Amino acid sequence: MNYQDPELLEHLAAEYVLGTLRGQARRRFERLQMESLTVRQAVWAWEQRLCPIAEAIDDEPPPAHLWHTIQQRTHPQDTDTAVTSRGLWHALWLWRSWGAVATVAAVILSWVLLTTFQAQAPVNHEPYMAVFNDAQAQPLWVISSDLATGQLSIRAVNAEAAAVDKAFELWMLPNDGSAPRSLGLLPINGEKQSTTLASPLLDRLRSASGLAVSIEPAGGSPTNVPTGPVVYQAPLIAL
């Protein structure tokens, strides 16, 4: 494998930072970082691009009843006794033996298992993502879509208004070279929006060559094709 190929290096660095490069390939790439400044710079560049995206994702708190459920499963003899929020941690502080270590491990394992099994029944997912960057490689919009459910989510990371009486419009670029299809206006100033795409549009999105952004009148293109300049393009990546 030619790691000097810039396109290959970009692809591997992106996968490494996203966490999709796994197993032996990931370990081999980590060794390569120790040997090559160019590889480390490629990884650093992707970290700079994706860190703002990670920071933009809201935290997902665990369910309020989770600790009570863990207490019931790890100490079933106490199910009829009121459990205070201090009780578990006070007990952990007092335990000094190796048995305490095992108990803590059991609590942690129970939390992992509970958060897994209390989730909804498995659903088929078909996630895709696109990131539009500016000239300084800073993310403007993060587009995520689950084509199995038809959900399209858009988050404006650093995007500001195009101009007075203007708007940014998102387009799908069909791989057959036909006219772009509008996916709606884009949010700005840190806003989010989510829409559900119709089935025919989903089928075309699966094979699209990418996405694009144009500057249009405030209400969007009046002709269902871009009328203003196309200012950004990005590939649609299957995750």
Q: What is the mean pLDDT of residues 176-195?
A: 91
Question: Of the candidates 180, 67, 47, which has an alpha carbon nearest to the alpha carbon of residue 115?
Answer: 67
pLDDT of residue 90: 45
Q: Which tops the pLDDT comparison, 90 or 151? A: 151
Question: Could you read off the pLDDT of 190-235 as tens digits, one per residue?
Answer: 888 998 988 888 888 888 999 999 999 989 999 989 999 999 999 8
Give dist(CA 232, CA 162) in Å, integer: 12
Question: Could you read off the pLDDT of 56-107 as tens digits, one per residue?
Answer: 555 666 777 777 777 777 766 655 554 444 444 444 444 444 444 444 444 4
Give dist(CA 40, CA 37) in Å, integer: 5
* Distance set, CA 225 to CA 49, 76, 95, 173 (Å): 30, 64, 68, 11
Q: How many CB atoms lie within 10 A of CB 107?
A: 18
Q: In b/e form, how buried is each residue of 219-235, taking b as 16+ CB within 10 angstroms?
A: ebbeeeebeeeeebebe
pLDDT of residue 125: 66
State if pTM tops 0.75. Answer: no
78 residue type, one letter? D
**CATH 2.60.40 boundaries in the chain:** 127-238
Architecture of domain 127-238: Sandwich (2.60)
What is the residue-wise DSSP string for 21-78?
A: --HHHHHHHHHHHHH-HHHHHHHHHHHHHHHHHHHHSPP-PPPTTHHHHHHHHH-GGG
Q: Distance between alpha carbon 209 and the CA centroid of its chain, in Å? A: 20
Residues in Cβ contact with 176 at an 8 Å cutoff, skipping those fewer than 6 apart: none
Question: Of the candidates 134, 239, 151, which has an alpha carbon nearest to the alpha carbon of residue 193?
Answer: 151
β-strands 127-133, 210-217: how paired? unpaired
Q: Is the distance from CB of 151 to CB of 194 less than 8 angstroms?
A: yes
